[in-house]
Amino acid sequence: MKGLKSSVIYFKNLLPPKFRYQLNSWRTCWYLARNDYCDFHLDGALQDFKFAKIEFNPNNQKLFCINPSFTYRSKPTEIYFRSTNIAYSPIADNFGNMVKNQNGEKLINSLQKGFLKSDPSNHSLTDVVTVEVPQSLEDVRVFDFNGEDLLVGTLVTEQKDSPAKLLQTRIGVSYKKSFFELDSPIGKRLEKNWVPIEIQNDILRLLHSNSPMRIVELDLVTGKQVSYLVPGTDEQINSSGGTPFLKMSDSSYLRIARKRFPLFGRGYIHISYLIQNSSSYRELKVSKPFIFQDFGFEICNGLSSDNKGNIYLSWGFNDSEMFFGECTYKVLKNWLSSNLMKKENQNSIIKSLQIMRKIKLSVE
């Protein structure tokens, strides 16, 4: 079976790029149709899911405010986000090349924060903080530790031993007055999208990858870094990044992860999954693939809860807008149980073809 799969990949790679992208886009439609993808905010089980746009315009500059994250302690909620003059739109040619939007020649790329008022429909920027290099992290996940914000993001640097001065990315962790640069545990030049799991005895655990599952541990006192594989964790989907792990009362975790797929005219879109992990981090349940609003760049990096059983999340949309949503834990848990991804195909071939047509028409 592996030999057949390798042969298919080999011959597919022989196709011209245009046809390869079109073929892969049809494969995306087929995958979504067979797995009965859903529209998160329109799903009947989530009728009380509320969300609103976060309106920030730092310094009145023509910047894109993208990929918000937060921790929920008490209102007003502090929102961290990336402020940049470069963004991509989910508009692509027949080869999958996406439209790049850039205001000005010099790169502006910083981490900022503002405050979200108690009324989710009334957003106001009361404070903006630009964090200077080296703590200027891209696309942070915010994690609460002893009432302090711990930030995990992507640090972009030049590869020191490269004559061509190639850019490399690594993971940066900012906590109080300490800043840690984490190396790739597998020797990759480009690393991003690690997510915080928990902190115990000053040891921060991060999810590096999920299939197989690799955990990175960082000692927040000494800066020592180690990593290890969790055995027997070839999970249903090879997901990337997403929100921090949110620990629930039964000691399991909830998180939202995502995966990128090619899709006609949209370039490479993000599809999300709600995942429940055990206390030992193994994946217990994985939802059907879903979108929050539309096929595009939906990057959900914020997930938190309060002591009243409410769940809050934040996501960026198409590198141009940010949103904040909420529902109850009970509703979210019931939604997951009712929308589990199955190992066998969930839709018939006829229904799948109908959904494929619907997807194709919706992105034209």
pLDDT in tens, 130-176: 555 555 678 899 998 888 899 999 988 765 665 555 678 889 998 98
Tell me, yes or no, whether 284 lies in a domain: yes
Tell me, yes or no, whether 166 lies in a domain: yes
d(CA 192, CA 77): 25
Residues of the chain with pLDDT under 50: 1-2, 4, 8
Q: What is the CATH number of the domain that holds 189?
A: 2.115.10.20
pTM for this one? 0.90
What pLDDT does 295 receive? 96
Q: What is the DSSP letter of 134?
A: T
Tell me, yes or no, whether 5 lies in a domain: no
What pLDDT does 60 receive? 56
Under 8 Å between Cβ of 260 and 297 = no
Tell me, yes or no, whether 6 lies in a domain: no
Query: Is the peptide bond preceding residue 231 cis, with omega within 30 degrees of 0?
Result: no
Question: Among candidates 84, 69, 24, which has minimal Cα distance to 256?
Answer: 69
Tell me, yes or no, whether 217 lies in a domain: yes
Tell me, yes or no, whether 11 lies in a domain: no
Q: What would you report as the CA-atom Rg of the chain, rounded to the nearest whole angstrom?
A: 20
**DSSP assignments along 54-80, one per residue:** E---GGG-S-EEEEEEEE-SSSSEEEE
What pLDDT does 4 receive? 46
Largest CA distance in the chain: 59
Q: How many domains does the chain have?
A: 1
Q: What is the DSSP letter of 273?
A: E
Residues in the chain, overall count? 364
Burial (CB < 10 A; 0-12, 13-18, 19+), residue 127, is exposed
What pLDDT does 95 receive? 92
Tell me, yes or no, whether 14 lies in a domain: no
Domain containing 135 equals: 27-362
- For β-strands 38-39 and 290-291, DSSP reports them as parallel
Tell me, yes or no, whether 121 lies in a domain: yes
